[in-house]
Amino acid sequence: MGSLPFTVSDLQTSVSGVRSNPTLLCTPLMGTTVEQMLTEMRKAKEIGADIVEIRLDCLRNFSPAQDLQILIKQSPLPTLVTYRPIWEGGQYEGDENKRQDALRLAMELGASYIDVELEVAHEFNNSIYGKKPQNFKVIVSSHNFHNTPSTEAIGNLVARIQASGADIVKIATTALDITDVARVLQVTVHSQVPTIAIVMGERGLISRLLSPKFGGYLTYGALEAGAISAPGQPTAKDLLDLYNFRLIKPDTKVYGIIGKPVGHSKSPLLFNAAFKKVGLNAVYVHLLVDDVEKFFNTYSAPDFISGCSCTIPHKEVAIKCMDTIDPIARKIGAINNIVRKPDGKLTAFNTDYIGAIEAIEDGLRESNGSSPAVGSPLAGKLFVVLGAGGAGKSLAYGAKEKGARVVVANRTFERAKDLADKVGGQALTLAEIENFHPEEGMILANTTSVGMKPKINDTPIPKHALKHYSLVFDAIYTPKDTRLLREAKESGKIIVYGTEMLIRQGFEQYKNFTGLPAPEELFRELMSKHA
Ligand code: ATR
């Protein structure tokens, strides 16, 4: 791979509990009673939040003098008090003077921060001039629930907030595209005043996760997934445990998975656990990307994005953004692993085929006792691929590369023919596979979706036809034990699970990202725990 993307100085010893950045983690309290909020405060502290945001507008029957006293005095964490009116996206509909009176009272009763909207900030800040307790700070906020304006408009907005007498600037815009985050960070990273910059919505997630990298004063983490105070807010637990929030620093390298949808991906779990264990100054995030080209054009710094995994629907289209591509990946026409070299150039791989082929090779070696040094046990074998989609291509090109003779069988014959011609092999329809046995000891790789949840009783080939094969691989991993693999096992065949392809393609990605050996044990442990 040439030079390693990480130098020795990048290697940090990061012990659990170590904190590498001053960015605060604030948990909003959304309870509708004082009692509920008191319970939520204790939970927030337990989870590891630094401060709690008391959302007064969520309280039913709020009685300022009594409730604020209890909430502020009994909080086990410093408090930020917000009383968001309906005109700024909150729930308060009442008299404006009473609202501001409650905020002033919160200040007097010992709140550490109050959040006041830009719209009324001048008036409010004038009213407390000379009365602010020591260490008390006013956050002046502005929310845009429609979009993220131009860089110039964001710059003007920040200037207006500063001029209103803010101790801390807060802007929250809405991401229509992940590249909107770049404009907000571009402005706020240079702000002279402490700044909270949030880009709401799933496409803005990185503004929240990476706030320590960009010097953010604070980020919000929900108590639970169902109790968010703004769109796209992660839970405090995910920030801390999944994304290693406390370890992120300005020079932390950012990796991620680009896809749409992408929120379900377990890759951040695997990579962040590995980075933490090895002590790499890196983080791996979910990246909901609509337009790949725009994404790579916008995020082109060597530490952001340092590399990414690539999933549906971008595996093919991302190719046009690459500077170099692994030759087999180019033939397959799909990439799933992108690495940015120190010179900024993007190199792409297809680790799916490597993962699957290596798993099959190891299965064969285990059964015949040969060592990896001997060469591929696939050389000269007849390798039957069922299916001619993306996974079918990966397996067919991968097997061909190892010197196997390839047969492609597909429901739609034309697709089988097309792929078989490219790998110099034979094409069949899926129906013909039952009576196809030109020789014994063949390899079978299913890449069709036949047998996948929920149709787990389906199988692409009758059991009796399996006797001509020595090894059966199924790319399906939901369920792990497909009917095909169960019947192959009963027939005494070597079987290779789809989960092996999945996990091994991850090993390859890790090696390409870091230049280090993959933490195989850890990946396997996490995969089985979170399957
Ligand atoms: P992937 O990227 O996972 O390979 P794909 O490109 O959609 O997904 O390919 C799905 C494969 O499963 C194709 O080979 C498809 O056959 P067709 O080319 O005839 O569509 C195959 N497949 C899907 N459902 C099938 C079914 N019910 N019976 C047989 N083959 C099926």
Nearest CA to ligand 1 atom 18: 412
Name the burial class of residue 125, with classes exposed (0-12), middle (13-18) and buried (19+) by CB atoms within 10 angstroms of its CB.
middle
Closest C-alpha to 296, from 345, 352, 357: 345
Is the CB of residue 415 below 6 angstroms from any atom belonging to ligand 1? yes
Q: Where in the chain is the domain with CATH 3.40.50.10860?
A: 275-349+504-524
Active site residue 291: no
Is the CB of residue 449 below 6 angstroms from any atom belonging to ligand 1? yes
- Of 352, 400, 474, 493, which one is the catalytic site residue? 352
353-496 to CATH, choices 3.30.420.40, 3.40.605.10, 3.40.50.720, 3.90.550.10: 3.40.50.720
- Give the mean model confidence (pLDDT) for residues 101-108: 98
pLDDT tens profile 148-178: 999 999 999 999 999 999 999 999 999 999 9
Nearest CA to ligand 1 atom 26: 450
Taking phi over 0 as left and psi of -120 to 50 as alpha, with beta for the rest, 340 belongs to: beta
Give yes or no for residue 8 having a pLDDT over 60.
no
Per-residue pLDDT band for 18 (boundaries 50, 70, 90) equals confident
pTM over 0.85: yes
Name the burial class of residue 237, with classes exposed (0-12), middle (13-18) and buried (19+) by CB atoms within 10 angstroms of its CB.
middle
Give yes or no for residue 375 having a pLDDT over 60.
yes
Is the CB of residue 498 below 6 angstroms from any atom belonging to ligand 1? no
Nearest CA to ligand 1 atom 27: 450
Active site residue 314: no
Separation of alpha carbons 364 and 67, rounded Å: 70
CATH number assigned to the domain covering 23-243? 3.20.20.70
Give yes or no for residue 5 having a pLDDT over 50.
no
Q: What are phi and psi of 305, to 5 degrees?
A: -105, 130
Q: Where in the chain is the domain with CATH 3.20.20.70?
A: 23-243
CATH superfamily, domain 275-349+504-524, is Leucine Dehydrogenase, chain A, domain 1 (3.40.50.10860)
Q: How far is the CA of 524 from the centre of ligand 1 (A)?
A: 28
Q: Label each residue of 43-54 as H, E or C.
A: HHHHHCCCEEEE
Q: How far is the CA of 474 from the centre of ligand 1 (A)?
A: 13
Cβ–Cβ < 8 Å for 197, 208: no
- Of 143, 286, 400, 402, which one is the catalytic site residue? 143
Residue with tokens 């900024």: 344
pLDDT of residue 17: 63
Question: How high is the mean pLDDT of the chain?
Answer: 94
pLDDT tens profile 408-437: 999 999 999 999 999 999 999 999 999 999
- Count of helix runs (H) and strand runs (E) in the chain: 17, 20
pLDDT tens profile 260-304: 999 999 999 999 999 999 999 999 999 999 999 999 999 999 889
Q: Are strands 337-340 and 405-410 parallel, antiparallel or unpaired?
A: unpaired
CA 448 to chain centre: 27
CA–CA distances in Å: residue 44 to residues 219, 225, 439: 14, 13, 65
> What residue spans of 137-179 are helical by DSSP H?
151-163
Cβ–Cβ < 8 Å for 320, 333: no
- Of 260, 315, 381, 402, which one is the catalytic site residue? 315
CA atoms within 13 A of residue 504's CA, in its CB half-sphere: 18
- Give the mean model confidence (pLDDT) for residues 496-507: 96
Is the CB of residue 313 below 6 angstroms from any atom belonging to ligand 1? no
Q: How far is the CA of 438 from the centre of ligand 1 (A)?
A: 25
Cβ–Cβ < 8 Å for 430, 448: yes
Give yes or no for residue 10 having a pLDDT over 60.
no
Q: How far is the CA of 515 from the centre of ligand 1 (A)?
A: 35
Active site residue 143: yes
CA–CA distances in Å: residue 424 to residues 86, 391, 408, 432, 439: 67, 18, 10, 19, 18
pLDDT of residue 4: 37
Give yes or no for residue 13 having a pLDDT over 80.
no
DSSP string, 475-496: ---SSSS-HHHHHHHHTT-EEE
Give yes or no for residue 381 having a pLDDT over 90.
yes
Structure tokens at 57: 């507008």
Nearest CA to ligand 1 atom 3: 391
- Give the mean model confidence (pLDDT) for residues 123-145: 97
Q: How far is the CA of 388 from the centre of ligand 1 (A)?
A: 7
Atom of ligand 1 nearest to the CA of 475: 3
Nearest CA to ligand 1 atom 29: 411
Which residues on adjacent β-strands are paired with residue 474? Answer: 446
- Give the mean model confidence (pLDDT) for residues 185-208: 95
Is the CB of residue 394 below 6 angstroms from any atom belonging to ligand 1? no
Q: Where in the chain is the domain with CATH 3.40.50.720?
A: 353-496
Per-residue pLDDT band for 229 (boundaries 50, 70, 90) equals confident
Q: How far is the CA of 387 from the centre of ligand 1 (A)?
A: 6
Closest C-alpha to 78, from 29, 130, 34, 131: 29
pLDDT of residue 370: 80
- The secondary structure element, H or E, covering residue 285 is strand 282-288
Atom of ligand 1 nearest to the CA of 411: 19
- Give the mean model confidence (pLDDT) for residues 103-110: 98
Atom of ligand 1 nearest to the CA of 416: 18
Cβ–Cβ < 8 Å for 102, 133: no
pLDDT tens profile 293-347: 999 999 999 889 999 999 999 999 999 999 999 999 999 999 999 999 999 999 9
Cβ–Cβ < 8 Å for 291, 320: no
Closest C-alpha to 466, from 502, 492, 448: 492
83's CB contacts (< 8 A; 6+ apart) are: 55, 56, 57, 90, 92, 99, 102, 103
Cβ–Cβ < 8 Å for 315, 336: yes
Active site residue 315: yes
- Give the mean model confidence (pLDDT) for residues 374-392: 95
- Of 170, 314, 381, 493, which one is the catalytic site residue? 170
Closest C-alpha to 45, from 291, 277, 221: 221
Cβ–Cβ < 8 Å for 430, 460: yes
Residue to substitute in 386, 410, 419 for testing ligand 1 pocket (most ligand atoms within 8 angstroms of CB): 410
